[in-house]
Chain A
Amino acid sequence: MDNKQYDNHLGIIGWLGGGRWGVERYLYILHRVTGLGILLFFLIHIFASSMRMYGPETWAAAMAILKNPIFKLGEFFVFVAFAFHALNGIRLILIELGLAVGKAEEPIYPYKSSLNNQRPLMVIVMVVVAILIIAGGYNTFFGSH
């Protein structure tokens, strides 16, 4: 048999791509994207803070750039990413410790799965995330500072 096969692994599109998927799949994508976003913020943060090394003038100049409203929006996005990543992370920890997925059961059509077991937890977590985002957004854009 000849082995000329075509590599059909989906690659990045496989995890980032949309499709007809369930909610948890989208949370998986968001969790990765927000994780990478927070990492990016962290790098920028270290870079910006390191401006201090080059004396007060450079520092003041860097701070002036950060006054730009664009960065306010960026700050808000970092907060959104953080709120989602942290709370969804707690949900994942609970699930991965086998606490929210139920027990093995006889599969009877139409099949139910562990996704149904964890869904109340997922809904609660997402509601809390939404409340945090609204509160954070209010504070960022209308807060007094």
Chain B
Amino acid sequence: MEKGTNITVFIRRFDPEKDPAPRQQQYTLHVERGMTVLDGLHMIKQTQDPSVGFRFSCRMGVCGSCGMMINGVPGLSCNTQILDVATTALTLAPLPNFNLIRDLVPDLVPMFGVIKGLQPYIQRNDVEEMENPTMEYFQTPHQLEEYLQFSYCIKCGSCMAACPTMATDKEYLGPAPLTQAYRYNTDSRDDAGDARRDLVAASHGIFNCHYAGECSNVCPKGVDPARAIQLMKKDLVLRYFGLGKHKCAHLCKKPDRSTYKPKIEAAPFTIGQ
């Protein structure tokens, strides 16, 4: 076992120039403990077939470039170890429910477009204060917790690939964008919930979700899009009926430090700059 073992790797290949449809190609790979799927792909590219196409960047589960179907389940290839998911055979395929650019590379750009369309940034009614802030916004730890989980999304698209609604409805906004809309809706500093409301609740929108829950099962960051979506449905219902308290964070004066004496004196050149 220490010396590693040989497994068969099946990779879905697609070259837009030559192939009318994706095909399967088979490789034999020597796998050792600790080797990730991404390591395996590098190994195949270096020693067997330089034409295998895959995408990666950070190789540590942060950038969200390397999502793919690993033995039929969407996940990040860089934080999945081969021997955790396979003993004799490993099947790799590009994330479905996206267009396919090449081999294991799906086109995530439409998803980014949808996320952008849902205004994933803080907007306030006091525009002047937002553009030229004079003070900080007050936010309690509890208010932070309400959206923190959903802010861990790395836009890898795994949830979109797992979603059965996404499979049949190309116009469906999808779990990742909806989660981002909720993340900002529920941020106590934000005022644009009503603007996002009509975008999110339109047809092909949030109410096409029927809680298959698969997005939350596959999310590599524990973001739980299914929860965000259900909580946002509740929020939307309340908003449409004009119920529920709509709160927006107050401005908070910076603490007065004129009488404050630090225990360790700051270096002189940092003062007053």
Contact = CB atoms under 8 A, between A and B. Distances in A.
A and B assemble together:
yes
A95 B211 contact: yes
Contacts of B145: 103-106
Given A6-B14, A107-B149, A113 B165 contact: no
Interface of A: 2, 4-15, 19-22, 24-25, 27-29, 31-32, 92, 95-99, 101-109, 111, 113-115, 117
Q: Which of A6, A13, A24 has the most CB atoms of chain B within a 10 A radius of its CB? A: A6
Interface of B: 14, 16-17, 21-22, 71-73, 94-101, 106-107, 145-150, 152, 164-168, 170, 186, 209-214, 216-217, 219, 221-224, 226-228, 230-231, 233-235, 237
B168 A92 contact: no
Contacts of B17: 4
Q: Which of B145, B146, B227 has the most CB atoms of chain A within a 10 A radius of its CB? A: B227
A114 B210 contact: no
Given A15-B164, A114-B216, A10 B230 contact: no
Contacts, number: 152
Contacts of A11: 167-168
A22 to B, nearest CB: 5
A24 B99 contact: no
A8 B167 contact: no
A90 B21 CA distance: 42
Contacts of B226: 101, 113-115
Contacts of B146: 103-104
Given A25-B212, A28-B210, A92-B211, A14 B168 contact: yes
29 contacts: A2-B16, A6-B99, A7-B99, A8-B97, A9-B97, A11-B167, A14-B97, A14-B167, A15-B212, A20-B72, A20-B73, A21-B214, A24-B213, A25-B213, A27-B212, A28-B213, A92-B211, A97-B230, A97-B233, A98-B230, A98-B235, A103-B145, A104-B148, A106-B149, A107-B152, A109-B222, A111-B219, A114-B224, A114-B226
Given A6-B16, A101-B231, A107-B222, A15 B165 contact: yes
B202 to A, nearest CB: 17
A29 B95 CA distance: 21
Given A12-B168, A107-B149, A5 B100 contact: yes
Given A15-B165, A97-B237, A114 B213 contact: yes
A96 B71 CA distance: 31
Contacts of A27: 212
A14 B11 CA distance: 20
Given A104-B148, A107-B222, A9 B170 contact: yes
A8 B94 contact: yes
Contacts of A97: 230, 233-234, 237
B210 to A, nearest CB: 6
Given A98-B234, A104-B149, A113-B222, A22 B217 contact: yes
Contacts of A114: 213, 216, 224, 226-227, 230
Contact of B99 (A8, A15, A21): A8
B102 to A, nearest CB: 9
B227 A113 contact: yes
B234 to A, nearest CB: 3
A24 B98 CA distance: 23
B222 A5 contact: no
